[in-house]
Amino acid sequence: MQQASSQAAGGTLAQRRKRAVRNVVLACVAVLLLGQLLIGALSLAALMRLGADSTADRLALIAGRTAGQVQAGLQLGKPLTQYFGLTLAFDRLRADVPDLIAAAFVLDDGTVLASIGPDLPATRLLRELRQGAGRAREATADGLMLALPLAEPEGGRRGALLIHARADSPLQADTIWGNLRFLAIVTVLAAAVMTLAMRAMPVQRIAAAGWLRLAVPVLIMLVAQALYTVHTVQQFRGVWQGVIEQNARLIGEGLERDLERVLGYGIPPERMRGVEQPLKRALQAFPLLGGMQFLSVDRKVLAQWGVMGAAEDVLEFPLEIARHDPPMAWLLLHPDASAMRAAVRARALDAATIAVVAMVAAIELMLMLQVLMDRAFAGRVSRPEQLPDDPSRLGMVARPVMFAFLFAMALPLGFLPLYARSLIDATVSDGRMALLMAMPTAAEMAAGLAMALLAGRLIDRRGWLAPAAWGMALAVAGNLACAWADTLFTLTVARAVAGLGYGLVWMALQGFVVNLGPARYRGRNMTALIAGLFAGHMTGAAVGGMLASQAGQQMVFVVGALLVVAAAIALRTLLWPYRGQGTASSVATAQPLGRAARPQLVRLLADRGYTALLLGSVVPFSIAQVGLLSYALPLHFDALGASTADVGRVIMLYGFCVIYIGPLLGRAIDLSHHWKYWIVAGGLTGAGGLLLMQWAPGLWGMTAAVVLLALASCLAGAAQTPYMLARERALQYGAAGATGIMRGADKFGQMLGPLVVGALFAGMGMAAALVITGLVYLAGTLAFWLVAPRDRAH
């Protein structure tokens, strides 16, 4: 009887283990499918944007010939307001653009000089031209609106040529379906390989929380995404190469018609004058062309402009008076081979960037799966007070929640100022417009700052769960209110509500890690939590931009609200066993936190170590971080001729360091217990990166400064929290409350960053401004080293 009972128990255990392995395999395949779905959606959205950009380029080249003729007349002294023959230009425009809906010549104040077709809403396009854009465009329900600038010489009147046309993308349906087929094939094969590999692993390997259990599915997933990325990169290259050749031929055909019209007047090629001017305008319209030549019938150069390239890449156009007549002259287009290769490489790099973003999201999902695997094989806990996770991994337990929440909150970051602009009266001046567009973002930051200061005390008294729940609810309400906002005021209030939710959730998850985790593990737990924050921020902004381009900006806010609910479900799944813990009385340290009868803020701020940490490390780093990443980096790269995509990729380098190097340094910092040394090392590293701008002010110097500042964040960020909580007065005040004040100082420095760097930039230039900021950071670090007392571990 006893033997039968033991056999039944063994059979039940074996069945439970078998079901656990099956669930693990299914979960790994599900994560693979989600990762492939994300990279496929991002890649297809990028292909669609490539098609839209190509269409806009083509229309700009066609309409640019008409605008160029009018601009040539303006250069000869014709006033724009009295330019006779504008209506005749529409005849050529109709011939060049068969799908033309409407066109108009307007002044920069919106006054229409001549038009055909329906009235065009031009205010926003004209504002974009006034801000220095070479052209402005806007997608419509039935096509594309385009604005090309016109200007009288020597600061005279300004205007624009507006066109509205139906625009077909150059992308063929078989290109898109071919991409989807390849994605499906790779995904099915990867799922099959993953299933076989995971089933072939011994149960003990899957049950143990070792590196192999994570490495196998991650490696298969990365290989699948790499194969799809290579295929997509080749598609990007092929499509863009075809677009370049099509646009070059379009330029040549337009010039061919113009020159043949002149030849039809009976003027021989040798007597034609001023041919350099249309060649020059064509090169300005399409910079990927290196040079153009106008040759006689015996190949003698009559006129040329630009740089001539290799003979084998030349596009030749015979100039004839009538079809099948012998050529009277030749037009040769020499492409700029290096510029074309750079353009193709840029598109390929865009595809690779998309793959990196998708891989980060997939790895975060796999890390969440790791937590669930550990619990599945650990089985039910035997006692209520027994926790389901290793206390040294509490940061990894909370990391998926932080990732999911930040992913949802970061969706609108890429277009929020543009969404705000769409709600502002178009007659508002440009200066006031710039200020009003920043109001929703400023309101969100201010609300987050206020909540960071207030939520800490609430967490010490009530625990982490209630603030997290309230924060999630406020974030959902704020996102939905943003979707329904129809004025700038309502959008600003909605973003403030979302900011309150963000501040509550951010502080609640920090309180979860700080109050529940033993002091010796705080460094690694905090770096894991911050890594989840940066991973969600990076991937959410990328996905939000894709959603906005395909489904509209309002739908992004609705999706964000739904994903906040998904983050709440992740919190319920992963953190619910800790719901009764996390108050001051339940902290796993040698001395309970927050036991003082009446904690005094003055006593906390009078602590030499705590105040030195805020003023010497937290605030200077935040000034340098936001001043460099949010203000200096975009402006400096623009001045150096780099693209916005390059700025995004450099910022991604910062995120990668924090996501993947930060947790490794966090473990080393926890083992050392010399937190003050690590904080000083981080300050010296970050300040050194900014001071490097004194000797390398170019693109690579700026990139090195960003990477070194990221390393400074990893070094100092993991040590700041344990050092702060080693102060006796911080323990008396309350762990979460003291952490909240530190995060408030962090937000205060972030608000100062653009103002400080901007003020220095106005007086001495960008490189010098960053060097001065580095000196301030260095001075703060040295002051911290001299003033702050040594570590006191509790």
pTM value? 0.73
- Mean pLDDT, rounded, for 442-466: 79
- CA gap 174, 471 in Å, rounded: 46
Q: Looking at residue 577, what DSSP letter applies? A: G
Name the one residue in this structure whose structure tokens are 């960037």: 353
Fold of 242-336: Beta-Lactamase (3.30.450)
| Cβ partners under 8 Å of residue 322, min gap 6 | none
Q: If you average pLDDT over every residue of the chain, what do you get? A: 80
pLDDT at 194 over 70: yes
Q: What is the DSSP string of 130-192?
A: HTT-S-EEEEETTEEEEEEEEE-TTT--EEEEEEEE----S--HHHHHHHHHHHHHHHHHHHH
**If 0-12 CB within 10 Å is exposed, 13-18 middle and 19+ buried, where does residue 342 land?**
exposed
- CA gap 376, 755 in Å, rounded: 51
* Ranges 306-315, 470-479, 777-786: which has the least confidence: 306-315
Find the helix packing angle between 488-516 and 465-484, rounded to 10°.
160
Task: Supply the pLDDT for residue 621.
Answer: 92
pLDDT-based confidence at 211, cuts 50/70/90?
low
| Cβ partners under 8 Å of residue 623, min gap 6 | 749, 750, 752, 753, 756, 757, 773, 776, 777
> Residues 689-746: pLDDT tens digits?
999 988 888 888 888 998 999 899 888 887 888 888 888 888 788 777 788 788 788 8
Fold of 50-165: Beta-Lactamase (3.30.450)
How many other CB atoms are there within 10 angstroms of residue 793's CB atom? Answer: 13
Pick the residue with more confidence: 6 or 573?
573
- CA gap 684, 711 in Å, rounded: 10
**If 0-12 CB within 10 Å is exposed, 13-18 middle and 19+ buried, where does residue 533 land?**
buried
Contact call for residues 103 and 162 (beta carbons, < 8 A): yes
- CA gap 671, 498 in Å, rounded: 38
- CA gap 564, 561 in Å, rounded: 5
- CA gap 585, 516 in Å, rounded: 10
Name the one residue in this structure whose structure tokens are 């910079």: 287
pLDDT-based confidence at 14, cuts 50/70/90?
low
Fold of 390-588: Growth Hormone; Chain: A; (1.20.1250)
Give the closest residue to 401 by CA, choosing from 176, 578, 660. 578
| Cβ partners under 8 Å of residue 351, min gap 6 | 43, 46, 229, 232, 233, 235, 236
Name the one residue in this structure whose structure tokens are 């110097």: 701
- CA gap 149, 135 in Å, rounded: 7
Give the closest residue to 401 by CA, choosing from 204, 197, 568, 629. 568
* Ranges 506-510, 543-547, 601-605, 679-683: which has the least confidence: 543-547
CA torsion sign for 414, 420, 425, 428 is: negative
**If 0-12 CB within 10 Å is exposed, 13-18 middle and 19+ buried, where does residue 751 land?**
middle
Q: Comparing 390-588 with 599-794, is the CATH topology the same?
A: yes
> Residues 363-393: pLDDT tens digits?
888 888 777 777 766 654 444 455 667 777 8
Task: Supply the pLDDT for residue 387.
Answer: 63
Sorted by where each begins, the domain ranges of the chain are: 50-165, 242-336, 390-588, 599-794
Distances, alpha carbon 425 to alpha carbons 120, 132, 486, 491, in Å = 17, 21, 12, 14
Q: What is the DSSP string of 52-65?
A: HHHHHHHHHHHHHH
Phi then psi for residue 182, to 5 deg, are -65, -40
| Cβ partners under 8 Å of residue 336, min gap 6 | 287, 288, 289, 290, 307, 309
Fold of 599-794: Growth Hormone; Chain: A; (1.20.1250)
> Residues 556-602: pLDDT tens digits?
899 999 999 999 998 988 888 887 665 543 443 333 334 433 446 78
> Residues 73-91: pLDDT tens digits?
888 888 888 888 788 888 8
Q: What is the DSSP string of 724-741?
A: HHTSHHHHHH-HHHHHHH
Burial letters 259-279, b for 16+ CB under 10 A, else e: bbeebeeeeebeebeebeebb
Task: Supply the pLDDT for residue 595.
Answer: 41
- CA gap 586, 583 in Å, rounded: 6
Task: Supply the pLDDT for residue 474.
Answer: 95
Residue 732's DSSP bridge partners are none
Task: Supply the pLDDT for residue 210.
Answer: 57
Task: Supply the pLDDT for residue 593.
Answer: 37
Cα 45 to chain center, whole Å?
Answer: 15
- Structure tokens that stand for 509 in this block: 């998850």
> Residues 604-646: pLDDT tens digits?
888 888 899 999 999 999 888 878 876 777 777 767 766 666 7
- Structure tokens that stand for 501 in this block: 């939710």
